[in-house]
Chains A and B, each alone.
Chain A
């Protein structure tokens, strides 16, 4: 478990990093290193070049932007976990952050690193899917935005170009007083979730749901937005029956199978955790704002 030989690069700016990416073959970006370093040590990843982003200026920040938040790619997960802005504007993310790895890995792991690595059972991609995040990337031709629904490109891979660097993620905020709930099931504290569920709800004064988002993590190669469940929720009254019925639509999903869980158990958990997340979200709706 020693990494194969590689050349280490230490750029100071995004432009420099992109230049290196564009000019070098088989290069890999290093963010917090909580996935890449073990993959190097186990030789699952064998890059010829490692480009370290840790000294690149300007990639680490959490700020209000438009009607939501913008989180720089190199922001440590710990900063997100303890950010008041995140708690205020994206409480779903705030709730999910303590479930990302362990305290020790969150000190070093980055927000963007988790997204770029794109493990489908990781919490950050699941929350980004739930919030319809917009991922800003930059390549030699300039910056571009990728809607999260277009971000996934298969198991552990994204639609970012090989010469692009992830700059930041915009997380549109939901309406004040919205309901949110993040639930996951893992064998042990701190493990990747076998299944996770992220729910967001808004409702009108009549107690009917006006907007709903339900996302499952750990099910397939990417976080899965449950469109049938969302369609069933919108317009329905917020009730145990509504949430149970919406959750039940998750039972038929295609779920992956591994040594930790067969597909049938993941499907079962998808139903259980969706219902829990929806009920939790509903219970948190601000009564004055409807619900």
Chain B
């Protein structure tokens, strides 16, 4: 039986469908205190005295902390890209000296129940000398505090001879492009429940997600606790998207308070907090220039961008800027290139990653540029891309830049081939003619597409243990995490094929730091490539170990045994005597005093690079400017699809989020830095009514040479090109002038734009 490639139904759905999920708020302990964060009401100001007396006096309040109470606790460190001088912009878990965004934690209340905690939080008052906030990352550099300029770092990626490229150019095309501020917004808000056992000095943190092992080390360091005396436990997770699962102030505070008060501490974020406290993302402005020759080949690209980082630099450090700059060239040759990214601090919620960080933004910029080049030279958008693609025989292609500590070397890809398949699938020329006819009849309708290169499988390594228990079940223990993507199912499929066992015998354990020493977590489309490959390696060893263990029982050698349907039997006598997994598990445990276990580690020096195209047909109501997506197609080469159904699910969900970022979602601030989108009536997530059916062309034409399965990641490719493709389609619909230069596009802005264009 082969499980890889099968649309295996999700093994993890049972408890979720029966309402038995263990989400953060489902976890409670006797005697727990509820934590409530008191957040800054202003965007920027000098923090004076905080009056906590009234809050402390409220019946049911156990304690109130301000920064004064935890002066020994340092700021939250970076886990990714650190640029020189960035450290001073880290966030303390409670504000010191200044508050820097609406939502900045100033104090925390611990009380017997969450209602009292919130009542008490309302009684905390702070003297704040209000200062003029910086809200524009592209203007003059603001101040982190008086005398400290608010530029946290500058990222630069470059190769080739740019001045030569511009000297030889027949055309120079310049654009200024903006991406709005939005975020992942998981439907389960964050939550953290910490316990402390004084008898063994053990802290346990529940509600962990994404990267429990890394966060364990980080939190231990911040609160100065032995790493082996703290464990993180991942339950069910109602969406991650990059936002959830980083170390935030609240994670540190619950651990600290549990240890200090020797009581369980529970914190559940509410929605309004989530929209001002959890990482925002995306907001960038680019000024990009392309040197292009007479036939449309891009000789060089020079890009400068400003990333609106918000008030502090959080765990991701400069990762989003680095990924933006390193991956902006996408599938094109671009012989000379430079991108300089300014990470600017503003008095808004701090930013981190969001699904396809840097690539959603960069793809918008790159593909708008390629469309502009096509328009200038009178080429079809398809043709300009063909002229610039990296050829199949140039793979692997050294991009000559690095990202996240690895060289960007495109491992495999048949870029033009995928484009041809997509064009054939949608009937591109016929569709184009039909849209032209409809426009001639007065409709505002248009098509656009965006080509992109994704990345996946960030290393450097992942460990896996396979354990045969006495009942004959096999546990796959990993340090990855489930963010809802179906990782349990996928790992069981890979494990079943590698071991030769039926999928039903597997249990997958993830996100428990007390079960495996190391783990890299689930982000950057890495779980299937990295952990899946480790399961593959461990599974092969497990198959051999099973046969070796059964050899004596069946009076044979391991080589003379085979495994069929969970039974181990002699190769020369398939229907003869056999050992079941349960028998073997029991015997092995009796003989060795421990279960049969194999371990494997998968190393990867570099990332793999899947690639795809989004194609959109958009129709605009000429009177209201309502935007409707008539067609949404994703073509994507995943190298090898372990579970096509789950990949399709990932794409459909990611596309919905991309549509949100392109058309609906935006964190808007007023001129004083007050956030205006702090609930779901003002922060507009697309619903099932706004999201079209997503057609998917899933290909396996360019397997990755970097792992034994040939897989590339599938978690992010559904969102990467959405902004760019929707912008192109809307642009085409309103006349193809290249007028769409910012996201999100909404009917009111489109109305103004079309008025300006003089329609």
Contact = CB atoms under 8 A, between A and B. Distances in A.
A259 B668 CA distance: 7
Given A188-B687, A261-B748, A272-B624, A42 B676 contact: no
A190 B747 contact: no
B138 to A, nearest CB: 21
B202 to A, nearest CB: 31
B681 A189 contact: no
Contacts of B681: 191-192
Interface centre among A2, A3, A38, A190, by most B CB within 10 Å?
Answer: A2
A1 B271 contact: yes
Interface string B111-124: 00011001100100
Contacts of B751: 265, 268
Interface string B618-654: 0000011010000000000000000000000000000
Interface string A1-18: 111110000000000000
B690 interface: yes
A135 B733 CA distance: 47
Contact of A262 (B271, B664, B676, B748): B748
B271 A187 contact: no
Contacts of B752: 262, 264-265
A42 to B, nearest CB: 6
Main secondary structure on chain B at its contact with chain A?
loop
B687 to A, nearest CB: 6
A143 to B, nearest CB: 35
Contacts of A185: 624, 626, 747
Main secondary structure of the interface of A (DSSP, over half): loop
Contacts of B748: 260-262, 265
B471 interface: no
B756 to A, nearest CB: 12
Nearest to A262: B748
Nearest to B666: A259
A189 B272 contact: no
A129 interface: no
B270 A1 contact: yes
Max chain B CB contacts within 10 Å: which of A38, A260, A261? A260
Contacts of B272: 1, 42
A187 B745 CA distance: 12
B420 interface: no
A63 interface: no
A269 interface: yes
A103 to B, nearest CB: 12
A217 to B, nearest CB: 15
Interface string A175-191: 00000000001011111
Contact of B623 (A1, A38, A272): A272
Interface string B655-681: 000000000100010000000110101
Nearest to B685: A188
A260 B668 CA distance: 10
A187 B623 contact: no
A117 to B, nearest CB: 14
Contacts of A259: 668, 676-677, 682
A272 B686 CA distance: 24
B122 A187 contact: no
Interface in A262-291: 262, 264-265, 268-269, 272-273, 276
B80 interface: no
A43 B122 contact: yes
Contacts of B664: 187-188
Nearest to B270: A1
Contacts of B118: 1-2, 4, 43
Interface in B425-462: none
A38 B681 CA distance: 11
A187 B624 CA distance: 11
Contacts of A272: 623-624
B746 interface: yes
B684 interface: yes
Contact of A265 (B676, B677, B747): B747
Contacts of B746: 187, 260
Which of A188, A190, A273 is packed against the most chain B CB atoms within 10 Å? A188
Interface string B148-159: 000000000000
A43 B36 CA distance: 15
Nearest to A102: B687
A188 B690 contact: yes
A33 to B, nearest CB: 16
A5 B119 contact: yes
Interface in B77-132: 114-115, 118-119, 122
B679 A187 contact: no
B40 to A, nearest CB: 17
A272 B625 CA distance: 11
Given A43-B122, A265-B748, A2 B682 contact: no
B114 A190 contact: no
Contacts of A187: 664, 684, 746-747
Contact of A189 (B270, B677, B689): B689
B497 to A, nearest CB: 43
Most B CB atoms within 10 A — which of A192, A259, A269? A259
Contacts of A262: 748, 752
Nearest to B273: A1
A238 B291 CA distance: 59
A191 B690 CA distance: 12
Contacts of B682: 259-260
Q: Which of B677, B684, B748, B752 has the most C-beta atoms of chain A within 10 angstroms of its own C-beta?
A: B748
A272 to B, nearest CB: 4
A190 B687 CA distance: 10
A192 B681 CA distance: 9
Contacts of B271: 1
Nearest to A41: B270
Nearest to B676: A259
B690 A189 contact: yes
Contacts of B122: 4, 43
Nearest to B682: A259
Interface in B741-757: 746-748, 751-752
Nearest to A273: B624
Contacts of A189: 687, 689-690
A188 B119 contact: no
A43 B122 CA distance: 10
A42 B684 contact: no
A2 B114 CA distance: 7
A42 B624 contact: no
Contacts of A192: 681
A185 B668 CA distance: 21
Interface in B245-273: 270-272
Contacts of B668: 259
A188 B681 CA distance: 10
A2 B687 contact: no
Nearest to A272: B623
Contacts of A264: 752
B687 A269 contact: no
Interface string B538-578: 00000000000000000000000000000000000000000
A42 B681 CA distance: 13
A4 B271 CA distance: 17
Contacts of B689: 188-190
Nearest to A185: B624
Contacts of B677: 259
Interface string A183-216: 0010111111000000000000000000000000
Given A4-B119, A190-B687, 17 more contacts: A1-B270, A1-B271, A2-B118, A3-B115, A4-B118, A5-B115, A43-B118, A43-B122, A187-B746, A188-B664, A188-B686, A188-B690, A189-B687, A191-B684, A260-B746, A261-B748, A273-B624
13 contacts: A1-B270, A5-B119, A38-B679, A187-B746, A187-B747, A190-B689, A191-B684, A259-B682, A261-B748, A262-B748, A265-B752, A272-B624, A273-B624
Closest 10 pairs (CB-CB, A-B): A189-B689, A1-B270, A265-B748, A272-B623, A2-B115, A261-B748, A2-B118, A259-B668, A259-B676, A185-B624
